[in-house]
Structure 1
Amino acid sequence: MKNMLIVLFILAAGAMGKAQDSTVKPFLVKTIGPLPYLEYGTGDDRLGGAKMTYLDTNVVLKVVDSTGTDYKVQLSKYHIAYVSKANVAADSGLRLGNENLSGSWMVSGEGKYDLVSISLPNRLPYKSVQQISPSRIVVDLYGVTSNTNWITQRGTSSFISSVWYEQPEDDVMRVFIELGKPVHWGYSIAYDSLGSRLQIKVKRPPESLRLRDMVIAIDAGHGGSNLGASGKNSKVLEKNLTLQYAKALEKLLNQKGATVVMTRTTDADVTQPERAALLRKAEPDLLISIHFNSSGNPAVSGTSTYYRYIGFQPLTQAILKRMLELNFNNYGNIGGFNFALSGPTEYPNCLVEVGFLSNEDEEKRMLKKGFDEDVANKIMRGIVDWLRAMD
């Protein structure tokens, strides 16, 4: 026993030594790629870890540790996050000041957007959240201390009702953007080409809330080598059904006069970053992503809708209410959803899981001729209900 304890002590000491040897000396990196993002922790599931925020490219992050495929980064004195090593690159020319002071703000508006522009000394990280009742966008700027003494409001903004900031921590500046109406139509956050101003572009409500004046994006889930789920008895592939149902919705919306953008129209491999880039360019008013569910328990059934941001929940609730008219069980309205196309903040979005391919009864219904048109009709009516609620 004594010898065993000695061996265990030596092994434990060796493990501690390895842990100490693996400690990373802090260094700076910058974000790269089309959709770099931060995660809250090292947790993971089939959709990846819980995302904190998407970031612009060339945002400077301070690496303080390494774990597997991620770096641990220090956002501010009391805030950390994790970033994929594939989403950053080291650069010997990067610098961060001991104190990063904010400068003047400008609030303006033109075309489809209102704009809040904030002067910053570097491309520093940030996180945003949506709030409701009242409707606000709240942005935390990490590593930033206020030296803002001018918030110039040009009077050209039409959707933003007021802006202000707080300094909840010495190195965290919190920006509040209150909206003039109780609805979120989307926003983007990025640095200007010089990297000296952070720009928060807030989408104004469309001038018309009629379907024929809307640009609606439809995403047929999966495709190509990404098969998705398969039917319990028919073995039908989810990727084929999503495209069939997406085309049925496209046809119906075109008949109503809407402009429709499809993320895919064939059985093609289209990655999530490619879909997100396509949608960012198209600037839709909203996105509907169509999927079919599956469970290891064949008794599980029901239709469901999904959202990530609370400001986009009303769209998903309106569509679910209509989908339940098809006599599905209610599997739920599910928030905080970590799906890639639920992540962009630029437009309201809703993922629809029509039903369970693993459930024999629902599989039969979803393969029945004309049922794709029934589902398309309910999704369309849900969109109309959501739009009418804003009048």
Structure 2
Amino acid sequence: MRIVVTGMGIVSPIGIGTDQFWSAAVNGVSGIKRISAFDASRQRSQIAGEVADFDPATFLSAKYIDQTDRFAQLALLAANLALEDAGKLDTYAPQRVAVSIGSGMGGFGTFESSATRRFQNQPVPPFTVPRTMANSAAAWVAIKHGLKGVNLTCSTACSSGANAIGMALDLLRAGRADAVVAGGAEACVLPLTMTSFEILHALTTSSNNDPEGASRPFARSRAGFVMSEGAGILILEKEEQAIRRGAKIYAQLAGFGQACDAKHIVMPDIEGQISTMQAAIQDAGLEPDSIDHINAHATSTPLGDIVETRAIKHVFGNRAGDIAISATKSMVGHSIGASAAIGSIATIMALHTGTIHPTINLDEADPECDLDYTPNRAQQRNPRTGLCNAFGFGGNNASIIFTNP
């Protein structure tokens, strides 16, 4: 059974909609700016990847806005775009269309603002709980579009979006759904969230005066990741049904791998990353030699980029240096649970267009990061297969493989 991608929707710091996002990505445009969502003057890291010109009132009623956190609003817009791109799914019974959306933090913006109000003895908004809960994005997508099938939420930190897409693949293969709206959403450009990551020494704090150059995966001078927000949604269907309804097909979702390294709650471990890439390749029925492109997890942390490079070398051996690798986070920052959904769309577009987008800000690579990361300029490489990595806190590792249809 072949599972295919028939629609995509993205809301990102470099564009809303696949065309705008991909044009900016290919041209190496950075979406990292000084934070505008709140007064960040007291933060050590004062930059982020925010979605500019995002106005939920353009597609949601006042009632919807009152009842939804920003992360759910981002998911709703991405889902609208993906469903529009895929064409009507009304050939499927509503009970056969599932939703699977990942988020690492859920409605943390609502949690933070409501907690502040409570400590200041101000009224707490009545929808605080349903806005905060991680499954609200998937629930609202289902409510908005009348999708009555399986409704799932995955929260595995930075691999949430990847695992949500993997769960969608499992649903389709098992015959529990005919189509799935799958992806990830996150909105955690917030004071408490960013302060917490600062304490862990995960965020870069040395580039407040150079936002666009702050996210530097694989570079010698990298100093941590840049917080970001966004959403990415895929429409997944069985190939024969997609063909029957005349849908366009972007790519095949060919394989999924998942592994916990069970070593450390926040530090990356090579064994888990190796295992998940190998599992995805095996699940796709491929050999390592057939992988042409990797969309790396590549957050721009000093240790993380080295561990991922070593894991890629272990899995692909002498061929590792021939694989076109790129880091989407160099342009959009790290959107936690949405990152792999956004990375998946970048991977699919690389297959669809033949172009590998660049890893920007890579003027001098770390000596321990010595693979082909597509530095600074896009390359026409015509990949046939692409692997998207996502490695999260808790030792949660996930890899997804897409192939040309």
Q: TM-score, normalised by structure 2?
A: 0.23
More helix by share: 2
Q: Which has the higher contact order (CA 8 A, sep 6+)?
A: 2
Q: TM-score, normalised by structure 1?
A: 0.24
More strand by share: 1
